[in-house]
Amino acid sequence: MSRKMLIDGELNQSNEQESHYDFDLFVIGAGSGGVRASRFSANYGAKVGICELPFHPISSEVVGGVGGTCVLRGCVPKKILVYGASFGGDIEDARNYGWEINDKVDFNWKKLLQKKTDEITRLNGIYKRLLSNAGVKLFEGEGKVVGPNEVEVIQLDGTKLSFSAKHILIATGNRAQRPNIPGQELAITSDEALSLEDMPKRAVILGGGYIAVEFASIWRGMGATVDLVFRKELPLRGFDDEMRAVVARNLEGRGINLHPRTTLTQLIKTEDGIKAFTDHGEELSADVVLFATGRMPYTKRLNLESAGVELDSTGAIKVDEYSRTNIPSIWAVGDVTNRMNLTPVALMEGTCFAKTVFGGQPCKPDYRDVPCAVFSIPPLSVVGLSEEQAIEQAQNDILVFTSSFNPMKNTISGRQEKTVMKLVVDAETDRVLGASMCGPDAPEIIQGIAVALKCGATKAQFDSTVGIHPSAAEEFVTMRSLTRRVTAGTKPKTNL
């Protein structure tokens, strides 16, 4: 099959002299980005090989699995647990809707855990079939770079396989990091949290990012006592400050104990669990301590120095706008590059890679207006600029529209938990720069709003759109009263 390939920056037809390579493309890492790049490259006619560590729910240096972090020990199993935890609040709310529920409602953690494991095992099989159906050759083992056009795969039995490839793609993702404090070995990371044998009755979580907030919601929803310890005044640094405050209020409203401007200094094993000490002298008792203090690009066992691939100070692979490293034959996509660490972004990068290298369509990933969500209970979802980012980047005045209301479901259930929505608008162009929502179904709603922002929608176009009634979503097209106007040149308030 004839195919176009990017060679030394120019698109040329493949020819006979390239046939001495074992593969046109060899990919190390079969997560979302690696699988997407492999399949799409093969669809363009490339001969593709890919390697991945053997499957296990908890990753390590010797186990992983086709599907990667998101599918096997991240977004997908986490969302399953969020669904499971949400039923706790729904059962409470159901009483005022006429449902007569016994006082004692049991939750079977082991049953949910088994269902979760069954699902990720199924997905692991699906991803393997996707590769096979695309004609991609899968090797199970640890991949390493030997040179600019050579890789080595160490199989389970220790056998080493060597392959040459015209192009090498690194897509090994990232790994959870642990703070270096006394007793840190007593804590777990999100990998283990998704596979705990027993449901904790008391949990201490260190961290203020989305993983920390989501697990706080999960365990609290399942009835555990949860202490959330984080360094800043509010959780979710980097998100819109107003929405961060809403999330914090909701977490407290659901019974989670917040410890802002705090960190852990030591963990000690006790007869009935773990004692966690804070820098404010507090002692927190727990069955489980979760470290959710960030993730680092996973490059340390790839032998990249052998090919001269440049890394940044965090260990991330440096790439250009096309995901190419300083070595022309070696590329990288996904979290290992530490650009925008989201699964759909890794998919976008993998797609652009395949188009650029094998499709004859040079393509740069577009990181503007990428929506995302924090699956807390209730969830937060955003797209575009936060108010702080808009003010910082503004050439014109910024208009802020907000709405805070009690969702219709809560008027009957009696739950005191408001939904908050926000639009950030350029006063001169009327273009909507950012949208945020914290409340039920926020991710489903913001995904649609993201299309509008990608198309450059104006506030007038939002206002002229007819809403769906009764729904929370209609509030986005009925926010006509200005909340505040921020003058261009105003310094944004510091990130709390």
**Coil, strand or helix at 490:** coil
Mark the binding-site residues, compressed into ranges: 79, 143, 207-214, 294, 335
Does residue 449 surpass a pLDDT of 70? yes
Mark the binding-site residues for NAD(+), compressed into ranges: 207-214, 294
282 and 243 in one domain? yes
459 and 313 in one domain? no
CATH at residue 387: 3.30.390.30
481 and 400 in one domain? yes
What is the C-alpha to C-alpha distance for residues 145 and 152, in angstroms, rounded to an integer?
6
Residues 6+ away with beta carbon under 8 Å from 384: 369, 424, 432, 433, 434, 435, 453
pLDDT tens for residues 143-166? 999 999 999 999 989 999 999 999
Burial of residue 156 (CB within 10 Å: 0-12, 13-18, 19+) is exposed
Average pLDDT over residues 454-468: 98
Q: Residue 400 in contact with residue 486, Cβ under 8 Å?
A: yes
pLDDT tens for residues 254-301? 999 999 999 999 999 999 999 999 999 999 999 999 999 999 999 999
135 and 64 in one domain? yes
Does residue 9 surpass a pLDDT of 80? no
Sign, CA dihedral 389-394-396-397, equals positive
259 and 131 in one domain? no
Answer whether residue 332 is part of any domain.
Answer: yes
Q: Residue 402 in contact with residue 422, Cβ under 8 Å?
A: yes
Cα pseudo-dihedral 132, 135, 139, 142, rounded to 10: -100
pLDDT tens for residues 56-102? 888 888 899 999 999 999 999 999 999 999 999 999 999 999 999 88
Answer whether residue 215 is part of any domain.
Answer: yes
Range 93-107 burial, b when 16+ CB lie within 10 A, else e = beeeeeeeeeeeeee
So what's the pLDDT on residue 19?
A: 64
48 and 139 in one domain? yes
Provide the percentage of residues in the chain whose pLDDT is more than 70: 95
For strands 48-52 and 137-147, give the pairing.
parallel
Residue 106 CA: distances (Å) to CA of 79, 91, 253: 21, 11, 23
Residue 223 gets the label, from left (phi > 0), alpha (psi -120 to 50) or beta, of left
Does residue 434 surpass a pLDDT of 80? yes
Answer whether residue 6 is part of any domain.
Answer: no
Number of independent structural domains in the chain: 3
Answer whether residue 330 is part of any domain.
Answer: yes
194 and 275 in one domain? yes
For strands 160-170 and 150-155, give the pairing.
antiparallel
Residue 95 CA: distances (Å) to CA of 224, 411, 412, 414: 22, 13, 10, 10
Does residue 342 surpass a pLDDT of 70? yes
115 and 131 in one domain? yes
Answer whether residue 475 is part of any domain.
Answer: yes
How many CA atoms lie within 13 Å of 190's alpha carbon, on the beta-carbon side? 30
Answer whether residue 412 is part of any domain.
Answer: yes
Q: How far is CA 459 from the centre of its chain?
A: 29
310 and 438 in one domain? no
Q: Residue 254 in contact with residue 226, Cβ under 8 Å?
A: no
Domain end: 274, 292, 310, which one?
292
**Tokens linked to 82:** 């969020």
Q: What angle do CA 199, 200, 203 make, to 5 degrees?
A: 145
pLDDT tens for residues 11-60? 444 444 456 999 999 999 999 999 999 999 999 999 999 999 999 888 88
Q: Residue 390 in contact with residue 434, Cβ under 8 Å?
A: yes
How many CA atoms lie within 13 Å of 91's alpha carbon, on the beta-carbon side? 16
Domain end: 359, 383, 404, which one?
359
DSSP state letter for 311: B
Q: What angle do CA 449, 337, 347 make, to 5 degrees?
A: 45
DSSP state letter for 64: B
Domain that holds residue 378: 371-486
Does residue 335 surpass a pLDDT of 80? yes
So what's the pLDDT on residue 306?
A: 87
What is the C-alpha to C-alpha distance for residues 211 and 209, in angstroms, rounded to an integer?
6
354 and 280 in one domain? no
139 and 29 in one domain? yes
Q: Which residues on adjacent β-strands are paired with residue 405?
A: 419
94 and 32 in one domain? yes
CATH at residue 90: 3.50.50.60
Domain end: 247, 274, 292, which one?
292
Answer whether residue 493 is part of any domain.
Answer: no
Residues recognised as catalytic? 469
Q: Residue 225 in contact with residue 248, Cβ under 8 Å?
A: no
Answer whether residue 16 is part of any domain.
Answer: no
